[in-house]
Amino acid sequence: MDIIIKKNYEEMSKYAANVIARYIRTKPNCVLGLATGSTPIGTYRELVRMHKEEGLDFSQVTTFNLDEYLGVGMDLSKPYDLDQSYARFMYEELFKHVNIKKENIYIPDGLTKNPKEHCEWYEEQIKKVGGIDLQLLGLGRDGHWGFNEPGSSLGSRTRVQALAEETLDDNYEAFYKRANIKRSEMPHFAITMGIGTILEARNIMMIVNGYKKADIVAKCLEGPITSQITSTAIQLHSGEITVVLDEEAASKLSRAEHYKHVEKMKQEYGLE
Ligand code: GLP
């Protein structure tokens, strides 16, 4: 596991965008797993910059998003403040700014009439394209990936999940409050890839910033593996794992100095 500690959010975002860009450049038809939330916004902005200024080419890239609220979906005829869907978020933050093909974008459909069937279909699509090369992940304050709330099985698959109170609070503050939507009116359920689905991605990269995530970062990376903190499953992944943190998010890691030392040595020896 590579744990990279960067000075601030901007540097964390640039590093993460560079990792993603490297995948796209070495395998132009790569399959990326993408995340939402406030954390990846800087990473997406940097990718957009690379597309515009350096010609980073998304024309053969396929993407699968982790999750979507149930009951919302991208309806572009609606005014923005009425649609807080993750589909809308992805479109606004990344997709509309790069040359990705619409048919290569997969996001769970929050407006589906048959969630169970849709979840199975979603899993099949991931298999059909040969699996995910790199899955980008944020981290919820209760330690979730996607919407795999505490108690989700570490082998779980794409399914409907009820949101924890803490998650509703955080996501209300971050997205729904700004759109003048009452907390009681925001979706309380979501479709999410499971932990088992995420672990099948060949490589994963988790990005986390800010002091308020410092406790959960330490538990996730250095604590015991438990379904009460679903992201501790990171310790079970067999591929390349990159964790990019800012100083604040890394501040409660007991081995932070060691991770910094390893990173420095790798740079000195020219190891990626
Ligand atoms: C939501 C998303 C997660 C994300 C988390 C953290 O719950 N479903 O994928 O990691 O928020 O969000 P933020 O980056 O805004 O802290």
Residue whose CA is closest, atom 8 of ligand 1? 146
Residue 257: CATH number of its domain: 3.40.50.1360
Taking residues 26-30, report their average pLDDT.
Answer: 98
Residue whose CA is closest, atom 12 of ligand 1? 37
Cα–Cα distances in angstroms (integers) from residue 91 to residues 37, 65, 101, 132, 200, in the given order: 13, 12, 12, 20, 26
What total number of domains does the chain contain?
1
Over the chain, what is the mean pLDDT? Answer: 94
Characterize the bridge pairing of strands 203-208 and 134-137.
parallel
Q: Is the pLDDT of residue 146 over 80?
A: yes
Which of 67, 68, 109, 123 is flagged as catalytic? Answer: 67
Tell how far the Cα of 144 is from the centroid of ligand 1, in angstroms.
Answer: 8
pLDDT one-digit tens code per residue, 210-239:
999 999 999 999 999 999 999 999 999 999
What's the predicted TM-score (pTM) here?
0.95
Of ligand 1's listed atoms, the one at least distance from the Cα of 38 is: 15
Q: Rounded to an integer, what is the distance from CA 152 to the centroid of its chain?
A: 17
51 is catalytic: no
Rounded Cα distance, 199 and 222, in Å: 18
Rounded Cα distance, 263 and 272, in Å: 9
Helical segments of the chain, H only: 9-26, 41-54, 86-93, 115-128, 165-171, 195-199, 214-222, 256-268
Among 60-69, 85-94, 159-168, 173-182, the least confident range: 173-182
Q: Which domain holds residue 109?
A: 2-268
Q: What is the pLDDT of residue 271?
A: 78
pLDDT one-digit tens code per residue, 96-138:
999 999 999 999 999 999 999 999 999 999 999 999 999 999 9
Q: What is the pLDDT of residue 76?
A: 58
Rounded Cα distance, 9 and 211, in Å: 11
